[in-house]
DNA sequence: AATTAAATTTAGACAAAACTAAAAATAGAT
DNA sequence: ATCTATTTTTAGTTTTGTCTAAATTTAATT
């Protein structure tokens, strides 16, 4: 009885901390068999490199990451699968909070960080169904399907669009609370139509048409907004 | 910074384990300044008495329980308040799962055990609103209000009702999965009308009318079903 | 009142997840 | 190729929550 639980725990059950590490490694690109350094992971997670080393060993033991001393970690197939299932939960909960509970897009991340660790396959599948199987979360990020398929959208940073090009705002690169609140205040939202009117060479700021109205936008903003170009 | 966090953690932030202890103590009657023994708590939580002793000290330090060596623990006002907020969350999530996601009443407890620890006041208030401020959970247990008010229903065990008395089934005493599944199989549900027809002295079984149909019920079942008597 | 049984606490250990400080390995620059 | 700065790992601690085994207190019985 005790031995069986120790076995399950060691090789199958995921702790919250382990899940957070997998998610971070995935977001840093470790899903494409690219090696991520312990330092990079530590910085992202606001923890210490030595803690990351400890966890790397544990995750390697579970077959979730490839870890070679001094060479960093990458996700195994199993690790990718697990990371995607957590990201799927995170983004579905974010949609739920916005669509069903009237949260604003700057409030959802913090709560989703907790909800993503709830263990119930039925729960998340039912939430998915309730939301009518959404493809994107409130920040425009794609939601992996139940079987881990990922549909990245064809999008471009607004700052990289040519003059006179038109499109629709579909996502944010920076999804920090201050940036999202800034966009709200300036009435910039996902789904808005955009046309690039002019670029200012001096400071790289843009003059754009947003839902018909002409506004000026700094480079900082333009380089954090994703646009889907019209054909 | 570090000192501030240590301070917050020690005196304000609740861990999942601490929350589970408070909830258990409350369910064992520790809210009415009755002393609950460490043994009773240990048995309920499937843990060891020595672990309970450790936690009792920690909760006392936080001002959540009164703890006197060898005398057991009872909840302080602050402890009751905290316990009620967790029970409120647990029961609201149970309603949510049944009402919005089509879970059956025997599936919700396990998931609610996880969801009750999500920390977001806004989240639970919005869930409450979405559900239209329900007063009872799927097992007939009352849901505390935001400010901790408790409306226990006037109910009686079916086994204690007099012959010819009528009422409505409003709750279960045993809310274990097997019992709930048994009730489903026998088409006994909350809201059903009940009339006691006859009692068998030999084995204390009952003959009752359930939604018009006459059925026979063992004492074991009758002593785990709550009925609200008609006036 | 003394003895015994049961309940409770203490002491010491362990696993998980973090930390600090020191040691080792790698990469960059001469 | 050697030295040096940076990165990474190791070793040893800490905190939380648990456990076992031993000691202590309380309750029950004679
Ligand atoms: Mn998020
Ligand atoms: Mn998001
Ligand atoms: Mn429950
Ligand atoms: Mn319930």
Which tens digits make up the pLDDT trace of B158-194? 999 999 999 999 999 999 999 999 999 999 999 999 9
Q: What is the pLDDT of residues B199-210, one digit of tens each?
A: 999 999 999 999
Q: Is A163 on the interface with B (CB under 8 A)?
A: no
* Nearest C-alpha neighbor of A21 from the set A39, A40, A45, A37: A45
Q: Report the gap between the CA of B228 and the closest CA in chain A (Å).
A: 32
Q: How many angstroms separate the CA of B48 from the C1' of C10?
A: 14
Structure confidence by residue, pLDDT tens digits, A170-191: 999 999 999 999 999 999 999 9
- Taking alpha carbons only, the member of B118, B166, B109, B165 closest to residue B141 is B109
Q: With respect to residue B199, please indicate whether it lies within any of the assigned structural domains.
A: yes
| Whether residue A110 has pLDDT greater than 90 | yes
Flag whether residue B124 sits within 8 Å of chain A, measured between CB atoms. no
Residues in Cβ contact with A156 at an 8 Å cutoff, skipping those fewer than 6 apart:
A167, A226, A227, A228, A229
Q: Which residue is nearest to nucleotide C6 (CA to C1')?
A: B39
Chain B residue at shortest CA distance from A94 = B123
Closest approach of chain A CAs to the CA of B99, in angstroms? 12
Angle ∠(A74,A118,B78) on CA atoms, nearest 5: 125
Q: What angle do CA B1, B6, B10 make, to 5 degrees?
A: 150
Is B133 a domain residue?
no
Asked if the C-beta of A118 comes within 8 angstroms of chain B's C-beta atoms, the answer is: yes
All residues with CB under 5 Å from ion ligand 2: A 94, 137, 139, 141
Question: Separation of B93 CA from ligand 4 center, angstroms?
Answer: 9
Confidence category of residue B2, pLDDT binned at 50, 70, 90: very low
B window 63-82: Cβ near strand C (< 7 A): 67, 69-72
Q: How far apart are CA B227 and CA B158, in angstroms?
A: 6
Task: Please tell me the total count of domains within chain B.
Answer: 2
Residue A200 covered by a domain: yes
Positive/negative CA dihedral, B33, B113, B97, B210:
negative
Alpha helices in A28-106 (DSSP H): 38-45, 49-61, 77-101
Q: Is residue A141 part of a domain?
A: no
Stretch A204-216: mean pLDDT, rounded?
95
CATH of the domain at B209: 2.30.30.90
Report the percentage of chain A scoring pLDDT > 70: 96
Q: With the CA atoms of A63, A65, A67 and A70 taken in that order, what torsion angle do they form, in degrees rounded to the nearest 10?
A: -160
**Order of all β-strands in the sheet with B225-229:** B156-157, B225-229, B166-172, B193-199, B206-210, B213-217
Structural domain includes residue A55: yes
Distance from CA of B61 to the nearest CA of A (A): 27
The A 66-95 residues near strand C by Cβ under 7 Å are: 69-70
Q: What is the SS3 assignment for B77?
A: helix
Q: Decide if pLDDT at A137 tops 60.
A: yes
Does B115 contact chain A (CB < 8 Å)?
yes
Judge whether A60 and A52 are in contact, CB under 8 Å: no
Q: In the predicted model, what is the mean pLDDT of chain A?
A: 94
Choose one of B75, B95, B123: the last residue of a domain. Answer: B75
Residue A114 to residue B119, Cβ atoms within 8 A: yes
Q: Please indicate, yes or no, if residue A215 is contained in any of the structural domains.
A: yes
Task: Kindly tell me if the per-residue pLDDT of B8 is higher than 70.
Answer: no
Write down which residue in B32, B57, B75 finishes a domain: B75
Full residue range of the structural domain in which residue B180 is found: 156-229
Question: Using CB atoms, which residue from B100, B110, B123 is nearest to A130?
Answer: B100
For chain B, what is the mean pLDDT? 94
Residue range B95-111: average pLDDT? 98
Give the CATH number, domain containing residue B29.
1.10.10.10
Interface touch A120/B100, C-beta < 8 Å: no
Residues of A with Cβ-Cβ distance to B19 under 8 angstroms: none
| A219 Rama class: left (phi>0) / alpha (psi -120 to 50) / beta | alpha
- Phi then psi for residue B13, to 5 deg, are -70, 135
Instruction: Please give the pLDDT value at position B10.
Output: 66
Domain limit, last residue, from A75, A90, A105: A75
Is B161 part of a structural domain of the chain? yes
**Most distant CA pair in chain B: distance in Å?**
70
Residue B181 lies in a domain: yes
Q: Residue A58: pLDDT above 90? A: yes
């Amino acid at each position: 009885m005790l031995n069986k639980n120790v076995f399950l725990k060691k090789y199958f059950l995921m702790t919250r901390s382990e899940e957070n590490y997998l998610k971070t490694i995935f977001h840093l690109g470790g899903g494409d068999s690219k090696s991520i350094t312990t330092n990079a992971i530590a910085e992202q997670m606001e923890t210490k490199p030595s803690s990351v080393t400890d966890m790397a060993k544990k995750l390697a033991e579970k077959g979730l990451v490839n870890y070679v001393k001094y060479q960093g970690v990458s996700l195994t197939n199993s690790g990718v699968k697990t990371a995607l299932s957590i990201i799927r939960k995170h983004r579905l909960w974010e949609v739920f909070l916005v669509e069903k509970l009237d949260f604003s897009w700057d409030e959802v991340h913090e709560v989703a960080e907790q909800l993503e660790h709830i263990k119930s396959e039925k729960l998340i599948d039912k939430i998915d169904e309730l939301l009518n199987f959404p493809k994107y979360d409130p920040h425009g990020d794609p939601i992996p399907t139940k079987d881990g398929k990922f549909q990245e959208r064809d999008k471009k940073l607004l700052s990289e669009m040519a003059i006179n090009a038109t499109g629709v705002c579909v996502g944010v690169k920076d999804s920090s609370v201050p940036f999202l609140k800034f966009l709200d205040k300036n009435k910039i939202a996902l789904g808005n139509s955009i046309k690039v009117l002019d670029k200012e060479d001096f400071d790289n700021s843009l003059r754009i048409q947003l839902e018909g109205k002409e506004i000026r936008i700094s480079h900082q903003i333009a380089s954090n907004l994703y646009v889907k170009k019209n054909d």
